[in-house]
Amino acid sequence: MSIDSDGGAPRRRPGAFDLGGRVAVITGAASGIGQAIALNFAEHGARVAAIDLTREALAETAAQVRKNGGQLDAFAADVSSAAAVDAAFGAIRAAFGRVDILVNNAGIAHVGTVLSTDEEAFDRLYRVNVKGVFLCTKAALPTMLEQGGGVILNLASIASFIALEDRFAYSMTKGAVLTMTRSVAIDFVKRGIRCNCMCPARIHTPFVDGYLAKSYPGREAEMFQKLSEYQPIGRMGRPDEVANLALYLCSDEAAFVTGAAFPIDGGVLAV
């Protein structure tokens, strides 16, 4: 229930966090945080248009959504390619006729200082984490504006706010995501568009397990504990916890929220 700003009688809405009838485009939905968001949004009624590098990569996400009675359609696109992004969003518009929500989740990580980061790695981080957000946002906005509004949610990081050791190029990209979020929010606030970003600390995803296996063979458990203890709460976050925040920010419950960056960090920024 909500109360009109003019002091009128309360007006009733469907259940909290209801996304029924909305088309939600989620990039990088094959695993980790993106997969968790796709499952959560579908559970709350959204028609999910999931984007990843290949349709085959999305098979597990699609199977889980459908097993739970949700709706998901898979689309292949490299978010760093303008042609691929335009083709995917063209197919989404042809299939559904609208785009209500865009979650720019697709991204890659990198470990290294400015001295150990080569040009190829720097450019790849920029293409996926920065250019990818730009291209998908640019592709979704015209449809949102035509239909009178929409919601964009970007995946930033605590690295958008603070320095993280050995994360030079990654931090560069997440700082850019934060400033793009605020620019889009203020440019389109009068036209029914909300744009926010989430700023997680370490989240336990398959990437973390793969990184530990590759970088610390035989010491995975020890290093997992060390990475967990970086968060004052004493553990890494879970993808479903990030997905719950995403659900709030993309629902009508967050109708008064735009241009904001939400930490979900187990207390990292509090110390």
Please name which of 39, 34, 5 lies closest in space to residue 19, comparing C-alpha atoms: 39
129 burial via Cβ count (<10 Å: 0-12, 13-18, 19+)? buried
Whole-angstrom distance, CA of residue 183 vs CA of residue 178? 9
Q: Structure tokens of 25? A: 């485009």
Catalytic residue among 126, 170, 216, 248: 170
- Residue 255 Cα distances to 10, 36, 189, 206, 258, angstroms: 16, 22, 11, 33, 8
User: Is 126 one of the catalytic residues?
Assistant: no
Other CB atoms within a 10 A radius of the CB of residue 255 amount to 10
Q: Report yes or no: 155 and 107 within 8 Å, Cβ to Cβ.
A: yes
Q: Report yes or no: 110 and 172 within 8 Å, Cβ to Cβ.
A: no
Residue position matching structure tokens 């709706």: 71
Q: DSSP secondary structure string, 105-130?
A: -------B-TTT--HHHHHHHIIIII
Indicate which residues carry an active-site annotation.
Answer: 170
